Structure 1
């Protein structure tokens, strides 16, 4: 009889704890995924994105902006002088970079104070950044505003260079950092990158406190 009650007791405990256990497994899975998240790009078309036309507005309230979800196409980047014209996605997984340039999700959005970091494969449009020169303009269109930046430096550095970390955490001004693997004709991942740093020229700044 005691054995029977013991079995029943353990069964009740397992039944009660089952939802909690499953929740923990699901939560852990979010942080230790063996694969990158997958997105559905089959129906994505740049012409379907509604870009906001340039206006005289100098400020946008953060609360009024519809920020993109991970994997969402929300803009395009053009460097006319070297022929770069590429869709911009929020996120920079390998799958995203098959379709266009990707914003590092821990970086700032265009218009915010801080650095927007965007990468693309060297075999795609960003390979043309090898021909970019200081002073060239970069046009960045989004669903909430039109922006323009000016190239102020182009460097070849290790992907883990301290400059990248410094730019990621700076909170003084809106900057744009474009990058791609180097050498340009390399196949696969490399340790070096071309980093093109750009200063803000125009476009509505985002008030993150409103």
Structure 2
């Protein structure tokens, strides 16, 4: 009886193990197509991101002729050099910090927001113009509202601007960004934000200088 009982238990164990192996094999067979589809979906997503990035790099957020600052009496306190990092811009509402480089060509816009060379120095009297790509450094720009703050830092100090409004213009419009007798900031990017391909319009966000603060020394 004991031998038969032991044999019965062994048979049951073998059956259970075989059943587990069978179930595992079936599960793996069923999972394979799903995992394959998941891998393809991952590739499709990466491909779309790569194509989108290529399109963005080909876009020109600040078209030639859109800035008309002739006759502006800006006070440029700093002689910026093309391509150099001149500061940073921080959007409290977006909790986003971006580097600012001098120039609005492709190399600068790949790294951060570009300061238009012909515009006023940041914090100075006049119109300080910054350009950036809509899906990278200026992602979420359309979420900013009137009275939101924008903080900029350069070697000259920290400058707090307040958003005053926004404007959407055709990408071929000339003279849309004008001179100012007071310290103002204009941020420009391509629009619509979710447009597939080279966006036809431009989104202009304007802000006025509230105050200047000294740079704070970071705790060592």
The bucket for the TM-score relative to the shorter chain is 0.5 to 0.7
2:108 equivalent in structure 1 = 96
1:191 equivalent in structure 2 = 200
Q: Does 1:142 align with 2:151?
A: no
Distance 2:101 2:156 in 1: 14
Q: Does 1:157 align with 2:169?
A: yes
Normalising to structure 2: TM-score of the pair? 0.58
Normalising to structure 1: TM-score of the pair? 0.61
Distance 1:132 1:163 in 2: 24
Secondary structure, in 3 states, of the residue corresponding to 2:198?
coil
Q: Does 1:75 align with 2:79?
A: no
Distance 1:188 1:144 in 2: 38
Runs of 4+ in structure 1 over 4 Å off: none
Secondary structure, in 3 states, of the residue corresponding to 1:95?
helix
Whether the 8 Å contact between 2:184 and 2:207 is mirrored in structure 1 is yes
Q: Gapped runs of 5+ residues in structure 1?
A: 1-60, 205-210
Distance 1:82 1:96 in 2: 22
> How many residues in Structure 1 have an aligned counterpart in Structure 2?
139
Whether the 8 Å contact between 1:127 and 1:180 is mirrored in structure 2 is no
Secondary structure, in 3 states, of the residue corresponding to 1:68?
coil
Q: Shift in Å at residue 159 of structure 1?
A: 3.2
Q: Deviations over 1:160-196 (max 9, x none)?
A: 446624x2x23x1010001111111235532311111
Q: Shift in Å at residue 140 of structure 1?
A: 0.3
2:46 equivalent in structure 1 = none
Whether the 8 Å contact between 1:100 and 1:120 is mirrored in structure 2 is yes
Whether the 8 Å contact between 2:166 and 2:205 is mirrored in structure 1 is yes
Q: Deviations over 1:120-145 (max 9, x none)?
A: 10111312101111110000000121
1:119 equivalent in structure 2 = 131
